[in-house]
Amino acid sequence: MLCRIAIPVPDLTRYANYADVLSALGALPVGVGANVDAEGFDGLLLPGGGDIEPSRYGQADAGCLYVDSALDDMQFAALGAFVKAGRPVLGICRGHQLVNVYFGGTLIQHLPQAAVHSRGGGSEDRVHATKATPGSVLCGLYGEAFPVNSSHHQGVDRLGEGLAVTQYSADGVVEALEHERLPILCVQWHPERMCLAHARQDTVDGSAVVRYFLALCRQI
């Protein structure tokens, strides 16, 4: 039986990279709304996108881009349902930041070193070195040091409750989080743009992260 993976977005066709990777790896991606029944799915994927409304972490707007409060409502509600059900969650870029905010953390609204991490005016992701914490999921997949892609101007600041940082960039940006008790992994980079048809020679294979997430989902 295919793993059913919920993706809380208004139009799944606009998130084809995520859906294509899940399908290629033997899962069934399903677009869902705020009222998703987590019990009907094996896992939740929170994709990349615009910035989260900063009032959700107690701040005024100081450089956010492409804020969509309706999307925030949908994705926070969906994440809450999956956390309550104990179902696996994979957060990617915006999804990584959303997980941190959900658990009470805050964000840096514009990184001082944003030029190193964002696309800027170009269409290609940046690539940079990172280090993973020994014993972490990512260290097990890729080793302690490996390059990833990057396309973001915000980052994790104060850590959410129950989360542990398991990967940093060389300049100190939080690149991955794992929950200490729940099956939640999130990354600031884009594994869906580092594998299969989008595989790169200058990064690791992003499909390993997605395969790990799907392995968790198959245990449900």
**Residue 64 clears pLDDT 70, i.e. is over it:** yes
pLDDT tens digits for 82-126? 999 999 999 999 999 999 999 999 999 999 988 889 976 667 899
Q: Output the pLDDT for position 115.
A: 81
Helix (H, G, I), strand (E, B) or coil at 39: helix
* CA distances from residue 167 to 30, 156, 188 in whole angstroms, order as listed: 29, 12, 9
CATH superfamily of 3-218: Class I glutamine amidotransferase (GATase) domain (3.40.50.880)
Return the number of other C-beta atoms located less than 10 Å from residue 208's C-beta.
17
Task: Give the rounded percent of residues in the chain with a pLDDT score beyond 70.
Answer: 99
The catalytic residue positions are: 93, 190, 192
- How confident is the model over 15-57, as pLDDT tens digits? 999 999 999 999 999 999 999 999 999 999 999 999 999 999 9
- How far is Cα 95 from Cα 79, in angstroms, rounded to an integer? 10
Contact of 118 with 108, CB cutoff 8 Å: no
Q: pTM of this prediction?
A: 0.97
